[in-house]
Structure 1
Amino acid sequence: MKFIYIDIDTLRADHLGCYGYHRNTSPHIDRLAARGLRFENVHASDTPCLPSRTALLTGRFGIHNGVVNHGGADADPVIGGADRAFWSQFHLHSFPAQLKRAGLKTVSVSSFAHRHSAFHWHAGFDETYNVGKFGLETADEVFAIASRWLEANGRNGDWFLHVHMWDPHTPYRAAPDYGEPFAETPLPGWLTEEKRARDWQGCGPHSAQECSGFAPNPKAAQAFPRQPQQIPDMAAVRAMFDGYDTGVLVADEYVGRIVALLGELGIEEEVAIMISSDHGETLGELNVYGDHQTVDQHTTRVPLVLVWPGLEGGKTLSAFHYQIDVTATLLELLGRKVPESWDGVSFAGSLRAGEDKGRDHLIVSQGAWTCQRGVRFDKWILISTMHDGYHLYDEAMLFNLEDDPHEERNLAEAQPEIAARGFHLLSAWHEDMMKDAARGRDPLANVVAEGGPYHVRGALPAYLERLRATGRAAMAERLSAKYPAG
């Protein structure tokens, strides 16, 4: 088997044509989806970047592998103890290590380990190529390395090639040559001026008045003109959507180039292709403009397109799956037994049978910008907040994703029975997971005890001053009351 995983960072599912987007951002991915399998409800168990890919690598939830944050004790995985053998659990049980045992040469083209000091990512890979720009590279630079590897090795034997492109990730930085491809295309209609104006009076990093962190960044504005620093009007809303969508378009172009190269090498029909991401993105939802700070639908849901020789394509599958269920399934399709240590559960049997079966519900987490757990069930998402990342979120938020896909109306008080069901599912999951929790405690609780999510630690005193200086003294007072220790 030859298998390529095109990993497009921060790729939001509903900004792809094959998921119903009205802008033509993804013609090449759409063509793959038309001949493959498109999954509607795949979620990263742990977000954002470092927790997500650590879960993908280990097949385990962050509460078990130890990584839920971008800094502090819970940004490093639990890698062994007194029972650690000559070969570590990463060596034996990581996803690429299992692919090696299935007979595939394993290769990664990614700067992820470099950007996040996450060198456990290399466990199980025969070859790794660091593009060297800490995630600020563009798809052409990634393609240059991946294409050379394919030209030299693509026809030979069985292999797994991970190709990681960052173009939709902030800062939006598509080359000037791309122009403004969406300038004449309508904006998504849900983000109205009324919504924008309401968010302008809110607070939190990457909110409408500071969508580059805790304050606008003039140097970044000059270096990355496609990336708005604030959202003072609907022109800035357009700049955000156009900047993000152009990044998606760039990545899609290079998906097309990779597929074309497979054709030139005469191997396209024998190569399995997977398109997915580490997480999605919020583009105004929950007053987060161009970032991934919550466990909401748009951050945790990832697109998943799979073209697999021997599986009938042209189908859309709607069952709930964790992304680590997908990797467990891939192992079983390759004839491997899923490691007992994994939390991911294979659904290969139902795929082979042409059935659409998955989980009853999903539990998802975020620990780098907020500390939250979410429950995705039926048409609902329940979000339980332990630390709100200075956004002043309610401790419980419940959204009906059929009627309110962009999460504007919190129904936790209006629908107490539904909220109670979500909390029951969360409590049962938590009780079960804590039996063998990493380091013997809940890592999200530890993040709160350490001083909060990594990206907001120490930021509150200066941010309170900014809020007062920008006409949001009421927000400052509420935050001071909620976080008196800063």
Structure 2
Amino acid sequence: MRILYIDIDSQRPDHLGCYGYHRNTSPTIDQIAGEGIIFDRCYTPDAPCLPSRTAFYSGRFGIHTGVVGHGGTAAQPKIQGPNRKFRDNFDDFGLARQLQINGYHTAMISPFGQRHAAWHFYAGFNEIHNTGQGGMESAEVVQPVVDKWMADNASKDNWYLHINYWDPHTPYRTPADYENPFKDDPLPDWLTDEVIEKNNKRVGPHGAHEIDMYTGNGDHRFPKHPGKATTPSQVRDVIDGYDMGVRYVDDQIAKIVADLKAAGVYDDTMIVISADHGENLGEWGLYGEHGTADDPTCRVPLIIKYPGGAKGIHNSKFHYNLDLAPTLMDLIGGEKRAIWDGESYDEAITEGKDIGRDEVTISQCCHVCQRSVRWDNWLYTRTYHDGFHLFPQEMLFDLESDPHEQHNLATVHPALCREGQWRLSRWHDAQMQKMALTGNDVVDPLWTVIREGGPFHASLTAGQPGIEGFNRYMQYLEDTDRKEGADALREKYAVQLEHFAK
């Protein structure tokens, strides 16, 4: 069997037609989805990019691998210790290596390992095609490499190919001559003038005034990615810029489908379309980033077309991206590894059974330090470091009636908050028990991140912005009529500022 894994960086499910989006962003993806299964509630357990892809290929939660951040200790895998053999766990037990063991030729077209110095990402691959621009390349750079690989290999059997597209990732940068097909389409109806004005008053990096992270200057190299989103027109620029990236990738997938059909192997190829994480597009006041432990950031599309498998159905259960590793092993007759945290859902693919998990725990330690739990229609979020956004310690959202998380119900439903905290504690206890039995330490990397000055993109030490940058940002908040927020942040972080200034 041939397995094609299409990894679209920052792809939100709800900006694809097959997930109900009102814009025509994904005609090819929608066609593939109609020939397979749409998984409605798949999540990365650890966001964003580096933690998510580490979890995916290792088959393990970030709390175990240690990779939960973008810098500092928590951007490096934990030392395996005296039980490390000639090779390490990433190679011995990673998904790509298991595919090799089962006779698959593994290939990757992605610069990601170099982008994040994530050399473990390459473990188990026979071929690695680094497109060379560290994730800043658009599809016109990636696609020629894909086209050549398909021409050379598509008709062969037993291959696994990972293709990484970047265009929905910030900064939004489809080519200048790629016309906007959505200029006459309405914005998502939840982005009202009232929501836009409410977001203008919020503080924190990647807010309405500072999409660049801590400024609103923009970058002349990326005219489709504005520096601010304080007006309806600028918000439209953000949404259109993102959606153009989605459609541009879909155009490339159409070429891949044509290549597979020309080689006579389309029907016999398993196609998986997913992402490392989603994107904040106004929720919680953030634009053009993937910086929270919630649905916009952690929910990812999962579309699987399997030869002879179920077609045209939705799976409603919860899944993690790392559940694909044991699922693939069940599908190809390989061995599932005890070290993995995933659960197989192979019968959902082969027979269309609506199977999966009843809840998932999701984490973010790059822009904020948060853990959340999703069950039924609820999202409960606990914030340990707010990333300079003044998020409350507890948040609760009813995602059935409020999918864009506009109404925090924590004070309305304290019993549900207690249940959410119990679910988080139960998950955490189970992971610490597993760590005590199988790991080289019993360190929760979330607390390592906080000890080292905070999440890398909201750090007072070696990350961004540092103490001087924090003070500049406070002045920027005052200059943009948000002095009250600046004063609240100075008060909240006074102890940390004094501690790290020593």
Q: TM-score, normalised by structure 2?
A: 0.95
Tell me how far apart the structure 1 counterparts of residues 380 and 173 of structure 2 sit (CA, whole Å): 34
Aligned length: 484
Identity of aligned residues (%): 44
Residue 479 in structure 1 maps to residue 489 in structure 2: yes
Alignment of 1:219-238 (within 5 A): 220=219, 222-238=220-236
In the alignment, which residue of structure 2 is the partner of 1:140? 140
The one of 414, 424, 427 aligned to 1:426? 424
Aligned to 2:344: 346
**Contact 1:58 1:342 survives alignment (8 Å):** yes
Separation in structure 2 between the aligned mates of residue 200 and residue 475 of structure 1, nearest angstrom: 12
Cα RMSD of the aligned pairs, angstroms, is 1.1
Separation (CA, whole Å) in 2 of partners of 1:476 and 1:195: 21
Q: Please list every run of 5 or more consecutive structure 1 residues that lacks an aligned counterpart in the other structure.
A: none
CA contact (8 A) 1:172 1:243 kept: yes
SS in 2 for 1:223: coil
CA contact (8 A) 2:38 2:314 kept: yes
CA distance in 2, matches of 1:396, 1:105: 46
Contact 1:79 1:90 in 2 (8 A): no
Aligned-partner Cα distance in 2 for 1:340–1:123: 19
Question: Per-residue deviation at 1:350?
Answer: 4.7
Deviations 1:86-112 (A, max 9, x none): 222122111100111121100000011
Partner of 1:168: 168
The answer as to whether partners of 1:59 and 1:327 remain within 8 angstroms in 2 is yes
Aligned-partner Cα distance in 2 for 1:384–1:181: 39
Q: Give the drift of 1:79.
A: 4.9
Per-residue deviation at 1:156? 1.9
What CA distance in whole angstroms lies between the structure 1 residues aligned with 2:292 and 2:301?
A: 17
Contact 1:44 1:300 in 2 (8 A): yes
Q: For 1:349 and 1:305, how far apart are their aligned partners in 2?
A: 15
The within-5 A match list for 1:264-275 is 264-275=262-273
Give the counterpart letter for 1:475 in structure 2: G
Structure 2, unmatched stretches of 5+, are 498-502
In the alignment, the residues of structure 2 paired with residue 140 and residue 182 of structure 1 have an alpha-carbon distance, to the nearest angstrom, of: 21
- The reply to whether residue 469 of structure 1 matches residue 479 of structure 2 is yes
Is 1:379 equivalent to 2:389 in the alignment? no
Secondary structure, in 3 states, of the residue corresponding to 2:83?
Answer: coil
Contact residue 131 and residue 137 of structure 1 kept, 8 A: yes
1:310, distance to aligned residue in structure 2 (A)? 2.4
2:286 is matched with which residue?
288
| Aligned twin of 2:242 | 244
Q: Which residue does 1:111 correspond to in 2?
A: 111
The DSSP-based 3-state class of the residue aligned with 1:420 is helix
Whole-angstrom distance in 2 between the partners of 1:469 and 1:178: 36
Q: Distance in 2 between matches of 1:354 and 1:165?
A: 29
CA distance in 1, matches of 2:32, 2:303: 7
Does 1:393 find its partner at 2:395? no
SS across alignment from 1:440 = coil
Which of residues 433, 436, 448 in structure 2 aligns to 1:446?
Answer: 448
1:79-134 alpha-carbon deviations (Å, 9 max, x no partner): 52111112221221111001111211000000111111111111000010110011
- 1:120-165 alpha-carbon deviations (Å, 9 max, x no partner): 1110000101100111111122111111112112212310000000
Matches of 1:325 and 1:369 in 2, distance apart? 25
Moved more, 74-83 or 388-397: 74-83
Q: Deviations over 1:366-420 (max 9, x none)?
A: 0000000010000010110000100000110000001111001000110111111
Q: Deviations over 1:425-463 (max 9, x none)?
A: 000111111124464211101111111000111322221
SS in 2 for 1:108: strand
Is the deviation greater in 393-402 or in 449-458?
Answer: 449-458
SS, match of residue 178 in structure 1: coil
Question: Which residue is 1:260 aligned to?
Answer: 258
User: Does 2:330 align with 1:332?
Assistant: yes
Partner of 1:154: 154
After TM superposition, the structure 1 stretch with the greater mean CA deviation from structure 2, 476-485 or 149-158, is 149-158
Instruction: Kindly indicate whether residue 198 of structure 2 is the aligned counterpart of residue 198 of structure 1.
Output: yes
Structure 1 window deviating more from structure 2 (39-48 vs 137-146): it is 137-146
CA distance in 1, matches of 2:128, 2:349: 31
Other-structure match for 1:299: 297
**Is the CA contact 1:272–1:306 (under 8 Å) kept in the aligned structure 2?**
yes
Range that drifts further, 457-466 or 34-43: 457-466
